Structure formats: C-alpha cells, structure tokens
Amino acid sequence: MITLREAYQNSKETLSRVYDHSEASAALKFLFEYQFSVTNKDFLIKGEEPFEQEQALEIILNRLLLHEPIQHILGFEFFSGLKIAVSSDVLIPRPETEELLQWVIEAEKDSIKIIADFCTGSGCLALALRKHFPNARVIATDISEKAIELAKKSELMNFGSSHIEWNIHDLLTQDYLLDRPDVIVCNPPYIKVEEKDIMHVNVLDFEPHLALFVYDSDPLLFYKIVIELFLDRQMPNIYFELNPLTADDLGLWCAEKGLNCQFRADLSGKKRFAGISK
C-alpha cells in the first residue's frame, strides 16, 4: 500500500501529462482536501501513513486526464463562502464573477428591497446576494429547468430554507412580468461562436454551450434585452459580466440610448464588468 505522500506525488506526475503545474496543484488540493479530507498540514504530519483510497483516487485521476473539471467530479465549487452544486448543466462559478458581486456589495445599500439575477445558472450570484442582502427579496431566472433545480439544491444546502424566488424564464422570448427590481445582476451567454477555437477542452466539452455562447449575429443581444426591459420606466441599477472583446460596443450602444455605462476591469486588467444606469 502506498503512503499518503506517495499518493500525492504519483497523482501530480500523472496530471502533468495534460495539465500545467499550477492547474495540477489546484486540482489536487481541491481533490485531497474535499474528497479525502487531507489538508496541507496532514501531508506534513501523516505523510508516511498508508493511503487507503488508492482505487478511488485512480478513478478520479482517469477522469481528470480526460479534462473533466474537478468541480464536476466532486459536484460542487465554492463561491463567496458558499458551497455551490455544479454539474454539466451549469457553468462552474468563476473567480471573476466574485469581483462582480463585490462591486454590487460596495455600490448598493442594505435598503434594497428587490434584487433580480437574470441567467442565474448555478445560482451562485443569487445565493451570494441572499447572503449579503438578507432583508432583500431575491428573484433568480434561467431558461434551464435543470439549472434552477440545481440552484434550489444549493440554497437548501447553504441556508436550510427556501427564500429565493426561482423562475424558469427565457429572456429572448418571454416578457418579464415580475415586480421591478431595485438592482439587476446578469452574467449572460456572451462568448462569440468564433471564439471556440481558443477555448480549453474542459470548458468546451463539459460546460453547457447554451450558457456560454451567444449564437445570434449580435453578441450584445442579452445585454440589450435586459436593458430594454426597463428603458421606458424607472430603470434599476444593472450590473453585467462582459466579454472584454465587446465591452466598448456596449458602451457605445448605451451612450446612444442616453444611459450611463461604467466599466470595471477584472484582476487581469480586462474590461470585464459594466454598471448601467439612467
């Protein structure tokens, strides 16, 4: 039987066939800590003890070698301190989206009464908004019934109760009939189809294209629809995650409509977020 330290080293060598050093290390840290309950401290203290889950480790490593995301294998990812259930039916929450959340928290006040999250996917934003604005009514919508069911599971897992109003809703074909929110957040499909060639296999093969790509000839389609819902009435403050390649086009369109459009860059310096207001 191999030791705990040998199990880790062997795993790292195995993953080095298809992952770079940082990707392999991140996946193994996640795997050992949350699947096998082994922390960095345990490697120092118990490194020479037998590792009794070698077969389970081998099965997971084989899946990782096929580029399946570790989050899908374990069934969750963390977001703003919450445990978010994930599967191939939703996008895995990204660190960039936490930056969007932080902007909303900084800019808005506890007096918000209604917050809406369009294209909620895994529900990570809606769930984090419930956490940070506990007195607000939170509405979350998505076209995918499977995504909504997974998000409901996450709410019960984190809070033990249902509070968010989850709705199956197609922004492209259905009117929004619920009450006007004070704040809207939206991380819509925004990747242009021609960008597929530069995307990683673990995204293309394992995450839902419906949530990734805008197949219309207008890559700003979802942004325009969300904004136009409220052009002729009192507009909420709207916060978007963006494709940096089309951010400037959104700014020009908003200017034509007489709207204020403020951009923020992500940690890599890319124009990733927009705040829209009248």
What global pTM score does this model have? 0.89
CA dist 92 → 29, 37, 71 (Å):
17, 22, 7
Strand order in the sheet with 183-186: 165-168, 137-142, 114-118, 183-186, 237-241, 271-277, 260-265
How far is residue 117's CA from residue 166's CA, in Å, rounded to a whole number? 10
Q: Which helix (H) or strand (E) holds 82?
A: strand 82-85
> What's the token pair of residue 181?
């929110």
What ranges do the domains of the chain cover? 4-66, 81-277
Rounded to whole angstroms, how far apart are CA atoms 157 and 106? 26
Per residue, the 3-state secondary structure of 49-65, as one string, reads CECCCHHHHHHHHHHHH
Give CA 41 to chain center in angstroms.
29
DSSP alpha helix (H) spans, the chain: 4-15, 21-34, 40-46, 54-65, 70-74, 95-107, 124-132, 145-159, 201-204, 209-212, 221-228, 247-256
With vertex at residue 269, the alpha carbon angle to CA 210 and CA 266, rounded to the nearest 5 degrees, is 50
Q: Write down the pLDDT at residue 201.
A: 53
pLDDT for residue 217 = 72
Would you put residue 78 in left (φ > 0), alpha (ψ -120 to 50) or beta?
beta
Question: How much is the pLDDT for 230?
Answer: 87
- Residue 208 is predicted with a pLDDT of 58
Helix (H) or strand (E) holding 141: strand 137-142
- Please state the CATH superfamily assignment of the domain spanning residues 81-277 in this structure: Vaccinia Virus protein VP39 (3.40.50.150)
Instruction: From 28, 79, 17, select the one nearest 57 (Cα to Cα).
Output: 28
Inter-CA distances, 223 with 92, 177, 240, Å: 21, 18, 8
Instruction: Quick: pLDDT tens for 197-231.
Output: 444 555 444 445 444 455 567 889 999 999 999 88
Instruction: Extract the residue ranges of the chain whose pLDDT is less than 70.
Output: 177, 190-216
